[in-house]
Amino acid sequence: MSVDFDFVQQRNDFLARRVKERAHLQAVAVEKILGDYPDWYSFLVLFRMATDEWGRNNYGDAPGIITTRDATRIKKYRDNNSFNMEKILEYEFIQTKDITYLAFIEDHIRKNIAGYGNASSIFNAFSSMINSRRG
């Protein structure tokens, strides 16, 4: 049986483009949802970059990636003042994740925060919460 390598390559290229298009559309949607909260938008971008990097390093999907549903909840929490920053971080970013994964995310964000300075207060709170769990 022969394999049409050109077809396989074309299919892989098509699938890669679709993944990039979906990621872009999601980023645009999240930015729109969190338009009134640019600090949270920047933190979500950084968090997603970190989870994507985790997935690349570990050859699979990362647990707890950020979605438009998460962005919508965060907007609701902020609009209604129902949760403070620490509660949002606990419920949406920390609660169900293990310390190794969280430490990786924290380190990745720390290396990339310079381009997203408006997220620094959220990152500092996140980092403090992670450090308190390290034991």
This prediction has a pTM of 0.80
Crossing angle (nearest 10°) for helices 38-57 and 120-133: 50
Crossing angle (nearest 10°) for helices 5-33 and 68-80: 10
Please identify which residue in the block is written with the tokens 């403070």. Answer: 84
Handedness of CA 16, 56, 37, 98 (dihedral sign): positive
pLDDT tens for the 135 residues of the chain, in order:
666 777 777 776 666 666 666 665 566 788 999 999 999 999 999 998 899 889 888 877 777 778 889 999 999 999 999 999 999 999 999 998 999 999 999 999 999 999 998 999 999 999 999 999 886
